[in-house]
């Protein structure tokens, strides 16, 4: 009687586990929970058992193929049970040490020291351009040629600067993996010169002193709103980024101590930035305080009136 024929008897014996044996150690273990393929073998003078799956998900043909493979391993001096356990542990270790797992760990450790926008751009870059291709691979298996293939995909859409930034981020992840004992080296150094250089785009700037004077006269003659004019007058006196000036709050100022203390959470490098204020800057801010001093922001967004 074949295994599939005798399996039908299980309905009559649900309360009592029993075996439906095949030749050469393969059998079905049948109980109230289901039917399970098992294989008995001897290794090192001891009787051992290995599972091959659940019937009928694993067919008779498939179970016999696995039985034959296990017998071949035993004949070669390999314990199939220990080999399977080693593969599971290796897969689990590879999953724990995958590029994505380590990259997210690296990002989480450094994100508190970055602005939210900067950290978000890095994570988004990895999620879109790197993780789909190598995120699930053990970091030790990612070589320079494999990484170059990832970067070429970015380059192919004309995003050369993004490719360079992705390479930089990958290198940071690899160095973190080396530092934490999960990789031996950073292969990104092998890709130096593999990407085309980024075409530098210089922002418009004024280097001629005469043109600086023209700019200051243009600011002085500005005919827009008072708040906007104050912002334009203050900008060349404090030398901060436009976003820092735009988001400035009254609580950050100490006009008596002539200081503007920009908190670390608003700075790119997550460090407190102290801006000394000149007499001209203090004068502008005192004038502006009469207009916007009751609110949170020094330069609040203008209120838009909806048409009736």
Task: Please determine whether the domains at 3-91 and 209-292 fall in the same fold group of CATH.
Answer: no
- What whole-number distance in Å separates Cα of residue 133 and Cα of residue 274? 43
Q: C-alpha angle with apex 285: 282 to 214, nearest 5 degrees?
A: 85
**3-class DSSP state of 41:** strand
What is the reported pLDDT for 85? 76
**3-class DSSP state of 98:** strand
What is the reported pLDDT for 56? 86
Q: Which two tokens stand for residue 31?
A: 């109980």
Q: 74-108: per-residue pLDDT in tens?
A: 888 888 888 787 777 666 665 678 999 999 999 99
Band of pLDDT at residue 1, cut at 50, 70 and 90: very low
Q: 30-68: per-residue pLDDT in tens?
A: 888 888 888 888 888 888 888 888 888 888 889 888 889
Backbone angles phi, psi at 29, to 5 degrees: -95, 115
Whether 10 shows a pLDDT value over 70: the answer reads: no
- Domain 209-292 annotated CATH 1.10.443.10: yes
Whether 6 shows a pLDDT value over 80: the answer reads: no
The topology under which CATH files domain 3-91 is: Double Stranded RNA Binding Domain (3.30.160)
For residues 248 and 297, the answer to whether their CB atoms sit within 8 Å is yes
Burial class (CB in 10 A: 0-12, 13-18, 19+), 45: exposed
For residues 39 and 79, the answer to whether their CB atoms sit within 8 Å is no
Helix ranges, the chain (H): 3-6, 60-75, 80-96, 99-110, 116-129, 131-134, 144-156, 160-179, 209-220, 226-238, 242-246, 279-292
What is the reported pLDDT for 44? 80
Which residue's structure tokens are 């203390």?
Answer: 261
Q: 128-151: per-residue pLDDT in tens?
A: 999 999 999 999 999 999 999 999
Q: Which two tokens stand for residue 80?
A: 């199939």
For residues 47 and 65, the answer to whether their CB atoms sit within 8 Å is no
Which residue's structure tokens are 């838009």?
Answer: 304
For residues 130 and 136, the answer to whether their CB atoms sit within 8 Å is no
Q: How many CB atoms lie within 10 A of CB 227?
A: 17
Query: What residues form DSSP beta bridges with 186?
Result: none
Sign of the alpha-carbon dihedral angle for 280, 283, 287, 288: positive
Whether omega before 53 lies within 30 degrees of 0, making that bond cis, reads no
What is the reported pLDDT for 247? 92
Q: C-alpha angle with apex 88: 84 to 93, nearest 5 degrees?
A: 145
What are the residue boundaries of the structural domains of the chain, listed by start? 3-91, 99-191, 209-292
Band of pLDDT at residue 264, cut at 50, 70 and 90: confident
Query: What residues form DSSP beta bridges with 261?
Result: 274
Q: 176-202: per-residue pLDDT in tens?
A: 999 999 999 999 999 999 999 988 776
Whether 12 shows a pLDDT value over 60: the answer reads: no
Task: Return the CATH number of the domain spanning residue range 99-191.
Answer: 1.10.150.130
Q: Which two tokens stand for residue 23?
A: 């030749």
Band of pLDDT at residue 22, cut at 50, 70 and 90: low
**pTM to 2 decimals?**
0.54
User: Would you give the distance in Å from CA 254 to the centre of its chain?
Assistant: 40
What is the reported pLDDT for 11? 44
Whether 17 shows a pLDDT value over 80: the answer reads: no
């Amino acid at each position: 009687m074949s295994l599939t024929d005798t399996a039908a008897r299980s309905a009559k014996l649900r309360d009592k586990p029993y075996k439906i044996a095949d030749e050469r150690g393969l059998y079905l273990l049948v109980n109230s929970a289901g039917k399970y393929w098992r294989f008995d073998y001897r290794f090192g003078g001891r009787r051992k058992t290995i599972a091959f799956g659940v019937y009928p998900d694993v067919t008779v043909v498939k179970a016999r193929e696995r039985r034959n493979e296990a017998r071949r391993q035993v004949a070669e001096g390999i314990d199939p049970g220990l080999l399977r356990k080693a593969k599971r542990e290796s897969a689990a270790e590879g999953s724990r040490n995958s590029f994505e797992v380590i990259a997210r760990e690296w990002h989480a450790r450094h994100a508190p020291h970055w602005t939210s926008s900067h950290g978000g751009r890095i994570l988004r870059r990895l999620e879109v351009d790197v993780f789909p291709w190598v995120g699930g691979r053990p970091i030790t298996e990612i070589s320079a040629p494999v990484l170059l293939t990832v970067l070429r995909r970015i380059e192919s859409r004309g995003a050369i600067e993004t490719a360079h930034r992705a390479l930089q981020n990958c290198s940071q992840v690899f160095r973190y993996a080396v530092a934490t004992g999960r990789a031996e080296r950073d292969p990104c150094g092998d890709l130096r010169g593999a990407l085309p250089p980024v075409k530098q785009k210089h922002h418009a700037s004024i280097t001629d002193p005469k043109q600086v004077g023209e700019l200051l006269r243009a600011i002085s003659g500005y005919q827009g709103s008072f708040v906007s004019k104050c912002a334009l007058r203050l900008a060349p006196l404090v030398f901060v980024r436009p976003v820092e000036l735009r988001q400035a709050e009254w609580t950050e100022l100490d006009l008596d101590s002539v200081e503007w203390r920009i908190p670390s959470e608003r700075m790119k490098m997550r460090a407190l930035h102290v801006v000394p204020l000149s007499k001209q800057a203090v004068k502008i801010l005192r004038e502006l305080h009469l207009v916007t001093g009751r609110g949170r922001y020094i330069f609040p967004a203008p209120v838009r009136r909806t048409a009736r």
